[in-house]
Structure 1
Amino acid sequence: MKLISFVEKEQYKLGVVTEQGVLDVGASVKAIGADRVAQLGNVPLTVTELLEGGAASVAALQQLMETVTDPGVLVWRDESSLKYGPCVTHPNKIICIGLNYRKHAEETKAEVPTHPILFNKFNNALTGHLCDIPLPESVSRNVDYEAELAIVIGKQAKRVAKEQALDYVFGYCNGNDLSARDLQRRTSQWLLGKSIDSFCPLGPYLVTADEVGDPNALDIRCTVNGQVRQHSNTSDMVFPCDELVSYISQHMTLVPGDIILTGTPSGVVMGLPKEQRVFLQPGDIVTVEIEKLGALTNQMVSE
């Protein structure tokens, strides 16, 4: 399934993207009536309910789509009319992986890590597809883009083996690990430059793992104002997705909805010679596109 979280009346709502349009889950549940809803089970109305409800919620959602045959009962929406939210809205943790592409480590003159480098963002950094991102011009002039594959956890994972790690993944989405480089490098801790408001757009879709297939073989690219800045493949990651999930789970319990941003390829502004660096400016349009996951686009605006 391809899922979106959209905003209506200041609330996040769940949609399923299909060839017919976007299935408005909440409106469809109201339309079919209480008796039919009871037969389907606990149909999730938000992406958080879906992730936390596990297999039972997924099954109820699938039954909603498959068993209601009257086209006048289900409520379909035009995707272009929807206001996107982050495709995962309330993660317990946003865990980021640093220097996870060899060429990116080389361009920043850093050593290729022997263990995954972990840091974090917070929920304040979340935003959605087509949402404007204010540049924090009062504190930083060096904002950089980072196209990343995001792993979304679907089951509680504690000390799982690499061989079983992907069984705990619900799905994947595009992410942009926006970074204020001057703040990031102000101290030995990267957090300040990574967790500014709206510095973690996710979306537009959360795509279930069965539709993605091998997450370690996906084309990934980033464009700024239509110009390709990053282009690589997730097969170039130092630590692949299964190894990351397993490694993190050895040290902390992963729960449904947790996000792992898996690192960025080469091509960031910080990797250029100093005289060639042009960081993001108001009006710049950044698009992150990963194979099978659609394209995540955001415009930078003045604070």
Structure 2
Amino acid sequence: MHLVTFMHEGRPTVGIADEALSKVQPLPANVAPDMLTLISKYDDIKGSLAGAGAAISLAGVELLAPIPRPARNVFCVGKNYHEHAKEFAGSGYDSSAKEIVPEYPVIFTKPSSTVIGQGAAIPQHLDTTDSTDYEGELTVIIGRGGRGIKKADALKHVFGYTIINDVTARTLQHQHRQWFIGKGIDGFCPMGPAILTADAMPDPTKMHLKTFVNGELRQNASVADLVFDIPTLIETLSAGITLEPGDVIATGTPAGVGLGFTPPRFLKKGDVVAIEVSGIGRLENPVG
């Protein structure tokens, strides 16, 4: 099932979209007033969702991020593909550690104010260092919360999957050592276009990610190439942090980001970044 949030009759509305993301059935506000409520109630109401209202075309509506304002910061994972870890280590922008491939997951966060939706402009002008980069990432949405979740049980806690572009001001990332300022700029977290529910993707390692800039393929990797897989990430985060329904975990980006080129190929106004993950769809945003 593909779930989206879109503007309908003057308000953000949750709906069930077809696989092509061409049509959507709006859900009644008393069933799902927003995506976070739907996620928290999903086990109780999923049997009744098939009777949603008449489908309307998505072509004429504004598609928002599936979770327009996450309740907490977005959890993110750094250097989580082997080849990207190597390109980052050799770029001169990594001031975080000496090792190339980390021994343990590198976790940071982006504030919820970074989240924008499909088609919204990435505000590159807010990066005064002119070093804005893209990072296409498969992203996990937590369904059942909990603390101390074991790897063997981790996928039972996944509600679904979406796409995030972990946009980054590379110079700020390097200057401030920790990555929050370089990655926390308003609008630097495009999310969408939909959430693919976990029951439609029982094995996320079968998914494949591609990122295009102005139509040029830049990133191309299998989720199976993650250094730390999704169950490991959930176990690591939940060891001491209680995960909550609707929490968002961006799992890391593969090689092919702008800093990996010589010279770096950072984003400029007018560029268009498109990220595809098999089964989910295509997240596309212009650079403003």
**Among candidates 17, 25, 28, match of residue 27 of structure 2:** 25
Q: Which amino acid aligns with 1:88?
A: I
Write out per-residue CA displacement over residues 244-298 of structure 1, whole angstroms, 9 at most, x where no aligned residue.
111110020110110000000000111223xx21210000000010110100000
Equivalent in the alignment of 2:43: 55
Q: Which moved more, 1:111-120 or 1:14-23?
A: 14-23
- 1:177-216, aligned counterparts within 5 Å? 177-216=166-205
In structure 2, the residue matched to 1:157 is 146
In structure 2, list runs of 5 or more residues that go unmatched.
Answer: 90-98
AA of the residue aligned to 1:81: G
TM-superposed CA distance for 1:82, in Å, is 1.3
Q: Which has the larger radius of gyration?
A: 1
Q: What corresponds to 1:85 in structure 2?
A: 64
2:100 is matched with which residue: 97, 108, 111?
111
Work out whether residues 5 and 13 of structure 2, in 8 Å CA contact, stay in contact via their aligned partners in 1: yes
Alignment of 1:1-303 (within 5 A): 1-8=1-8, 11-18=11-18, 21-26=23-28, 43-62=31-50, 64-65=51-52, 74-91=53-70, 92-109=72-89, 111-137=100-126, 139-273=128-262, 276-301=263-288
**Two-structure CA RMSD over aligned residues (Å):** 1.6
Instruction: Please report how far the alpha carbon of residue 10 of structure 1 lies from its aligned counterpart in structure 2 after TM superposition.
Output: 5.7
- Which ranges of 4 or more aligned residues in structure 1 deviate by more than 6 Å? none
Residues 127, 169 of structure 2: 8 Å contact kept: no
Determine if contact 2:68/2:117 at 8 Å carries over to the other structure.
Answer: no
Task: Provide the secondary structure at the position in 1 that maps to 2:249.
Answer: strand
Mapped contact 2:219–2:255 kept (Cα < 8 A):
yes
**Cross-structure match for 1:69:** none
Alpha-carbon deviations, 1:201-225, whole Å to 9, x = none? 1110101001122112211110000
Is the alpha carbon distance of 1:138 and 1:288 closer, same or farther for their aligned partners in structure 2, counting shifts above 3 Å? closer
Q: How far is 1:194 from its partner?
A: 0.4
Separation in structure 2 between the aligned mates of residue 254 and residue 8 of structure 1, nearest angstrom: 31
Structure 1: unaligned runs, 5 residues or longer: 30-41, 66-73
d(CA) in 2 for partners of 1:187 and 1:133? Answer: 22
Q: Would you say the 8 A contact 1:270–1:277 is kept in 2?
A: yes
**What secondary structure, in the 3-state scheme, does the structure 2 residue paired with 1:251 have?**
coil
Q: Is the 8 A contact 1:25 1:75 kept in 2?
A: no
Deviation (angstroms), 1:9: 6.0
Normalised TM-score (structure 2): 0.91
Secondary structure of the corresponding residue to residue 237 of structure 2: helix
